[in-house]
């Protein structure tokens, strides 16, 4: 009798341990699966809002943040600056070397752009070699000009082009709200117009939007 009881207790103990192990294993598998799903969800969300080459916000996220910045600026009676930036001579990099080198150059350009704006600012890539910056709070034209000058200077450092040193510069157009625009599309359009004027002025410089630039661009 005692032997039977002892054997039953032993079997019960082993069974309990096995059940605990199975439950714990199931918990670990479930936790691991949840982590993988969470990571996949984060990656999919990032792909929807950030472009894959540079990791910068894409056009959709750019417009979303610009709309939020405009709403906040109107409430607080603040100013916003938008930069439209186009790389000078980038087509020659792709044609002379390769698209692989061109992609590496774009990633380095994006890194330098991010390093020369404030944490609150948004650097986005609209496509190709076109980038934008949203400065949601700006005190003056001079303050915007200082940041633009810093970006241009950052690009003067040579780029590694397949083992050779090369130069890539940027022409920057700047538009401000509410002084020169009152909505997102107009802000971007005006900055684009000013950017084309910067190219006409010799490239590797920045220009502020002015209404009389429209005729020159057209």
Which residues are catalytic, by number?
Answer: 129
CA distance 161 to 206: 25
Output the DSSP codes for the chain.
-HHHHHHHHHHHHHHHHHHHHHHHHHHHHHHHHHHHHHHHHHHHHHHHHB-TTT--B-HHHHHHHHHHHHHHHHHHT--EEEEEEEEESHHHHHHHT-HHHHHHHHHHHHHHHHHTS-TTSEEEEEETTEEEEEESS---HHHHHHHHHHHHHHTTSPEEETTEEE--EEEEEEEEETTT-SSHHHHHHHHHHHHHHHHHTTSSSEEE--TTHHHHH-
In degrees and rounded to multiples of 5, residue 15 shows phi and psi of -60, -40
CA distance 192 to 121: 18
In degrees and rounded to multiples of 5, residue 203 shows phi and psi of 65, 175
């Amino acid at each position: 009798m005692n032997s039977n009881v002892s054997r039953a207790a032993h079997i019960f103990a082993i069974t309990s341990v096995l059940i605990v192990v199975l439950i714990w294993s199931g918990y670990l598998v479930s936790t691991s699966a949840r982590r993988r799903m969470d990571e996949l969800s984060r990656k999919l969300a990032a792909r929807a809002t950030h472009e894959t080459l540079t990791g910068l916000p894409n056009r959709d996220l750019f417009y979303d943040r610009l709309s939020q910045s405009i709403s906040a600026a109107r409430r607080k009676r603040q100013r916003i600056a938008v930069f439209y930036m186009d790389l000078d001579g980038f087509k020659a990099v792709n044609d002379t070397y390769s698209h692989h080198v061109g992609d590496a150059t774009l990633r380095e350009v994006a890194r330098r752009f991010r390093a020369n704006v404030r944490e609150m600012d948004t650097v986005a890539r609209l496509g190709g070699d076109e980038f934008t910056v949203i400065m949601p709070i700006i005190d003056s034209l001079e303050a915007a000009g200082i940041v633009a000058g810093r970006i241009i200077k950052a690009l003067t450092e040579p780029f590694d082009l397949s083992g050779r040193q090369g130069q890539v510069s940027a022409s920057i157009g700047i538009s401000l709200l509410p002084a020169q625009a009152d909505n997102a599309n107009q802000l971007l359009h005006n900055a684009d117009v000013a950017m084309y004027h910067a190219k006409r002025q010799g490239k590797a410089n920045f220009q502020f939007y002015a209404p009389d630039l429209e005729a020159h661009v057209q």
